[in-house]
Structure 1
Amino acid sequence: MGCLFALLGFAADAAAGPRQHWFETFKRSADDRDLYRFLYALPKGGDLHNHLTGSNFSEWWYELATDKALNGGYEYYTRVRIDNCVGYGQDMFGFAPYLLYFRNLQASSYQKLSECEQGEYKKISALNAAEKAAWMDSLRLDKQHEGREEFFQTHWQRLNELGRNPYINAEMLVKNMQAFAREGLTYLETMEGTRFYTRPDGSTFAPDEVADIFRQRLAEPDAVATGVTARMQYYLLRFIDNAEEDLEWIYRFVDANRDLFVGINMVGREDNDKGHPRRFLPTLRKLRRDIPGVPLAIHAGEVDEPNHHVRDTLLLGATRIGHGVNLIDDPDTLLLMRNSDYLVEINLISNLLLEYVDDYREHPFPEYLRMGIPVALSTDDRGMWDSNMTDEYFVAVKEFNLSWKELTSLAHNSLKHSFVDDETKQELLQDYARRLERFQKRFQRSGMQGLSDVVPRSHSFICQQYALCDFSSPVMAAH
């Protein structure tokens, strides 16, 4: 442990006198392209706030939807026409509204449609170039007028049965691990479940079968070769009618599968008041009487109005707060969290695109950071914003002028506050300290020339917004 603290203290000691620090010199002289490449190469910790089905890029979805060798032998169809096959009022505006292009079905569901409805659908593998481009755009926020409603009310409904294939989701998990490894992350704690998955014939997988599919995929050589440790949080959709019963089932399932699932996360729109945190307090107290504590990391404060959801989330026993945007408006809870063991998972790009802030400068992240509230950056539903962890780091440094100590604390916090077992956590922290020391020495010795082999992903959100990346380069496109 003494060695660990010595290594972790390296960055903090070097930050003394920040205006004389080499990182300050680099920031003053670097253009945006160099800053982005530097941050892409920078060793990072983990992504703690990551929705698995929302973290997959459209290109990945298309590849797996059309490759039966990778997706378990499924075939998929998507709606490309509206022929008014159902009457007004017949599921026109429900969870899966009829007037929704690019809703995806597996073949067994397609076969059950009427002849008229089948005429509205087309095999995803048979889409022409324009249809394919529109299909991929339908799964990301890529237009100025799209925002919160597009995300919550159409993206998930379009995915539909693509997200109910355990082989696709297991493959996506590994793709995320590979991509994060290129950015210097070594830990991923993603949110997913094991229920409601369907076989090609439409029958249902047992939850234990799905858990084993994830385990088996994570044990394969290409997953292990990433060097990324992956664990899962089981999600609870907080506002549904039977959410308390769901929580009981999930709690017991996580307890029985702690090698794979390390916690529970309550998800869903907070502006739906049926999911308010205190609703679940009696259930959690009952569960904790008989079952050793299951870690909780709960969405709270991702809402426009001031309220006490963050405070009430802490009352539930959560040690990590997802988003926490309106924590700034709850001074008592803000003071409680200073220099504490509670972490706020910060999602800068998500909060901008979903309109919880109108501008990065409105975000309370730097106030939390500089008040001593532990924070870490995370990517949320990165596939739907076409972003990565480097994008989050770039926004944080460019908008808020982070010091080296502040910058490196983000990765350290993401590992320190992970729900992984203590032995693995210490290994991850020690590894991060070693990687950070090597990176710093390399950069101080060779500068940007030492990062000439670093090739960021070419079509990240920030690359597009700031025109940082060379989209014409075949090497860049490969990433």
Structure 2
Amino acid sequence: MSKKNKFTTLTALAISAQLIVGSCYAASADWFEKFKQTASDKELYTLLYAMPKGGDLHHHITGSALSEWWYDLALEQSAHGYEFYTKVKVNNCRDYGGNEFGFSPYYLLFTNLLASSYDKLPACEKAEYKPLKDLNATEKAAWLNSIRLDKDHEGRDEFFQTHWQRMNELSSSPYLIAELLVKNMQAFGDEGLIYMEPMMGAFGYTKPDGTVIPAEVTADIFRDRLQQADAKATGITVRMQESILRFSPRAEDSLRKYYDFISKNNDLYVAVNMVGREDNDKGHPARFLPVLRELRHKYNNVKLSIHAGEVDEPNYHIRDTLLLGADRIGHGVNLITDDDMMRQMRNGPYLVEINLISNLLLEYIDDYSQHPFPEYLRIGIPVALSTDDRGMWDSNLTDEFFVAVKEFNLSWAELNTLGENSIKYSFLDQQTKNTLLNEYQEKMAKFEQQVSTSGIKNITTTPVSYSFICDKYQLCLEES
């Protein structure tokens, strides 16, 4: 066969393949559009729950744990010598204002302490606390609700100024955090997820007596836990990020420390993430340009993702964040206000980590008609859905997809793109990324073949939902 004829034949085959793919795509789009027109919310949710999903690239491990998990696992920490106390009343033991503007305000109920810290309190303050294991039913219910947004009037300030402060020393045990990770892996695995990249630092943990545990020891605790049978049975690959509080006065020192740690523990840790309220101007992006340029002179294996655009005002934080070297943007709600950046981010290489439920509950949007997600998606800015702090929202990843389909009429091709993006833009090494991408595509193709012909009638997975979807969409299914 001549080169010309060979080329012509190959071209014809390529065109035929494109026609076949196009025909399949049209069929795919057709079945899902018909399904949406006739399906009940429960049927749609069932399909989305069972649907294979790629990765969750944006969630804080301590914010991703359900309150019930925290409570049960905290009591189990007695096996490692940890005992926790929680504040159940205020006896006005301090003058007004004492530590009211510190990390753990005095007047905040259900603040949690290690027994070693409780033992150091004066008698008056000790009387304000009870062992966590001794709470009565009313106190336990209030404790559970204290670390999730469970009331309509609660929003951004409640979240940023009380939830984390109440947890306080509850997150001192690396064994507890390792168990929370596996709990999340199991729950996400039931939803069809195959990759997680939690913000789950190795620094700041202590022994029961308050002695600091070295980060390298903590990392080994996490590694060992991931090798246990129940973790492996989830089928989920995990890599982690260290996170720094952007407005901390010593944030630059943290960056230096974390870059070195991640570089030395690159089998488990892949990136640094800068977190914290952007409306605190002490954490503005440009502050970190000198130190990041310094660090890039030395380290070649540390990625960077930064919360940016999670703010009400139009500003250039996303532009400045990309200048810092970030590969991914967390939230990106106000990107829509920067026309030049909107144009530049089309078709990559940067991804915006979209958190629909978080943005609503923290009041960065009043309702979903204001959310820029569909604009980003449909003009070619890479996006992926993620959960942020699902434990505090009492939600899951399926809720994010359900909101996206209900509010923005997503097509099947768009759902597939979101899943692929969550693997393509992960911080995995290329070989593992390719393996997971192939796994996701194979699972998605098999699932599509199943549901495009028979709908949900052959789906055997029972969807599990939580209070968010019940409260906001009156879709109340089985709870975990």
TM-score of the alignment, normalized to the shorter chain, above 0.5: yes
Q: In the TM superposition, what are the counterparts of 1:275-354 in structure 2 within 5 Å?
A: 275-354=283-362
Q: Distance in 2 between matches of 1:257 and 1:47?
A: 21
Q: Distance in 2 between matches of 1:31 and 1:213?
A: 45
Q: Distance in 2 between matches of 1:74 and 1:118?
A: 18
TM-score (ref. length: structure 1) = 0.94
Partner amino acid, structure 1, of 2:314 = P
Conserved 8 A contact 1:280-1:316: yes
Conserved 8 A contact 1:391-1:460: no
Residues 1:44 and 2:53 are matched in the alignment:
yes
Deviation of 1:69 (Å): 5.7
What SS does the corresponding residue of 1:263 show, helix, strand or coil?
strand
Provide structure 1 residue ranges, at least 5 long, that are not aligned to the other structure.
1-6, 471-475
Partner amino acid, structure 1, of 2:177 = N
Question: Where do 4+ consecutive residues of structure 1 move more than 3 Å?
Answer: 7-18
Match 1:68 to one of 66, 74, 77: 77
Query: Once superposed, what is the RMSD of the aligned Cα atoms?
Result: 1.8
Match 1:256 to one of 257, 264, 270: 264
Residues 1:26 and 2:68 are matched in the alignment:
no
Conserved 8 A contact 1:349-1:392: yes
Q: Distance in 1 between matches of 2:418 and 2:62?
A: 24
Partner amino acid, structure 2, of 1:413 = N
Q: Deviations over 1:334-391 (max 9, x none)?
A: 1110011110000000000000000011100000000100000000011000010000
Q: In the TM superposition, what are the counterparts of 1:124-203 in structure 2 within 5 Å?
A: 124-203=132-211
Q: In the TM superposition, what are the counterparts of 1:76-95 in structure 2 within 5 Å?
A: 76-95=84-103
Provide structure 2 residue ranges, at least 5 long, that are not aligned to the other structure.
1-16
Q: Deviations over 1:40-88 (max 9, x none)?
A: 0110000000101000000100101112366x23111100000001112
Conserved 8 A contact 1:14-1:21: no
What SS does the corresponding residue of 1:200 show, helix, strand or coil?
coil
Conserved 8 A contact 1:379-1:392: yes
Q: Deviations over 1:124-144 (max 9, x none)?
A: 111111110000000100101
Partner amino acid, structure 1, of 2:461 = V
State the number of aligned residues.
Answer: 465
Conserved 8 A contact 2:65-2:184: yes
Aligned to 1:15: 25
What SS does the corresponding residue of 2:303 show, helix, strand or coil?
coil
Q: Distance in 2 between matches of 1:8 and 1:23?
A: 21
More displaced, 9-18 or 262-271? 9-18
Going from structure 1 to structure 2, the CA distance change for 1:107 and 1:187 (only over 3 Å counts) comes to same
Q: Distance in 1 between matches of 2:409 and 2:97?
A: 53
Deviation of 1:9 (Å): 12
Going from structure 1 to structure 2, the CA distance change for 1:26 and 1:114 (only over 3 Å counts) comes to same
Residues 1:430 and 2:438 are matched in the alignment:
yes
Counting aligned pairs with the same residue, the percent is 61
Partner amino acid, structure 2, of 1:31 = S
Conserved 8 A contact 1:238-1:267: yes
Match 1:270 to one of 268, 278, 291: 278
Higher Cα radius of gyration: 2
Aligned to 2:227: 219
Match 1:457 to one of 460, 464, 470: 464
Residues 1:54 and 2:63 are matched in the alignment:
yes
Q: Distance in 1 between matches of 2:31 and 2:445?
A: 14
Deviation of 1:461 (Å): 1.3
Deviation of 1:460 (Å): 4.3
Aligned to 1:468: 475
TM-score (ref. length: structure 2) = 0.94
Conserved 8 A contact 2:469-2:476: no
Q: Distance in 2 between matches of 1:421 and 1:366?
A: 29
Deviation of 1:465 (Å): 2.3
Partner amino acid, structure 2, of 1:462 = I
Going from structure 1 to structure 2, the CA distance change for 1:13 and 1:134 (only over 3 Å counts) comes to farther
Conserved 8 A contact 2:186-2:231: yes
